[in-house]
Amino acid sequence: MVDETPILGIPEIDQPLSSALPMGWLALLKGSTGAGSSVLAKQFAHAGVGTVPVLFYTTYERTEDVRQSFTDFGWDPDGVKIVNLADEYYERVLVRGLEVAKARERGLGFEGLVREQLGERPATTFRLTDRMLADLQAIDAPFRLVVDSIDFFFEILAPRDVTTVARQIRHRCQTIGGQALITLHTSLQDRATAAVLQDLADVVLDLRAEPEADHYAHTLSVEKVGHRPNLTRIWKASLGETGWGVRAPESTPR
């Protein structure tokens, strides 16, 4: 049975991918800085609105900016559950660390800090990925999920812990028919780590911007589609009022 839900909202890419992918899968979207992968991630999220629950985890944009970006392209942000992991990490970890530092300057020990802020309750530890994984476990039907971007995880977790999270997302997708996309800025991570994520992914996309005369030319490459190398392809890409679109390069051989 073929899932007819749009994948990226780009018909030229969606049709062959839809016929080749199982019900549950993980996609990796690589992107060079400034190429527009964040917009494509939102387009992927929007394509699932109205058919399945959609979760969008942002790690570097303000929540209001994410919502505004959806609106700018005519997409309904109300159909997407937006979770700001960067804000949660800041409030639960970094702010708490500042409070501890200030308390120590006042000569208050850790036990005194706990009593002052939490009574007799022990301090809790916030793990960046717990919120997302808990959300996934609470879903028992097909879903669509975006992590934009996973680079933030590498700032505070060991690489093997990040790839473990990717494995957990993929397993949940396969178990209940979810569709997930994680974005990765290729210039920020080492090749070995990027290779592991590409091996885990069922679909690998690469969005790039290269200088050409007085502008930047964009290409969207489908680098991997499961075990169907015949479906890999490079497209010329352009960003319009309703999102990304593609066309075949004039020099594409037949």
Model confidence over 182-230: pLDDT tens digits? 999 877 778 888 999 999 999 999 999 999 999 999 999 999 999 999 9
Which DSSP helix (H) or strand (E) runs through 253?
none
Which pLDDT score is estimated for 96?
A: 54
Task: Provide, rounded to the nearest whole percent, the portion of the chain with pLDDT above 90.
Answer: 65
**pTM, whole model, 2 decimals?**
0.85
In this prediction, residue 11 carries a pLDDT of 95
pLDDT value of residue 3: 58
Strand 179-185 to strand 144-148: parallel, antiparallel, or no bridges (unpaired)? Answer: parallel
Least confident piece of the model among 10-19, 113-122, 197-206, 222-231: 113-122
What Å distances lie between residue 78 and 83, 90, 132, 158, 176, CA to CA?
13, 25, 19, 34, 24
Count CA within 13 A, CB hemisphere, residue 146. Answer: 30
Q: How long a stretch of residues is the chain? A: 254
pLDDT in tens, 23-62: 999 999 999 888 999 999 999 999 999 999 999 999 999 9
H-helix or E-strand spanning residue 254? none
55 Cβ neighbours under 8 A, 6+ residues apart: 80, 81, 83, 132, 135, 143, 144, 145, 146
Q: Which domains does the chain have, with CATH numbers?
A: 11-247 (3.40.50.300)
Looking at residue 123, the DSSP 8-state letter turns out to be P
Rounded distance, CA 165 to CA 82, Å? 19
